[in-house]
Amino acid sequence: MRKAIKLKVALWIEGEDEPAHNFAKSAKQAVREIISAGLKSHPELKVTIRGITEGGGGGFDDSDDSPGTTPPSPGTTGAKQ
């Protein structure tokens, strides 16, 4: 049986960069590469990236399904949740 699901994922990307460099552009490319690399672990799945946009305002939790720019809580990495 073929199944599909639309998932919303909020990522907080941090890194060092030059002041004049477009950090959003390089972060978006990095996310595409991270997802592509992860797909090698699950070749049975087809994942289509329909867009990567910079979040604006608000948070991201179970009651709000619009991504925002709220960083993770102190002491958390978000790696295994």
Q: Domain residue spans in the chain? A: 1-69
This prediction has a pTM of 0.62
What is the biggest distance separating any 2 CA atoms in the chain, rounded to whole angstroms?
A: 50
Q: What is the C-alpha to C-alpha distance for residues 43 and 78, in angstroms, rounded to an integer?
A: 24
One pLDDT digit (tens) per residue for the chain, 81 residues: 999 999 988 899 999 999 999 999 999 999 999 999 999 999 999 999 888 888 865 555 544 444 454 565 555 554 443
Q: Which two tokens stand for residue 74?
A: 């102190």
Ramachandran quadrant class, 79 (left: phi over 0; alpha: psi -120 to 50; beta: rest): alpha
Going by C-alpha positions, the residue among 10, 62, 1, 59 that lies closest to residue 31 is 10
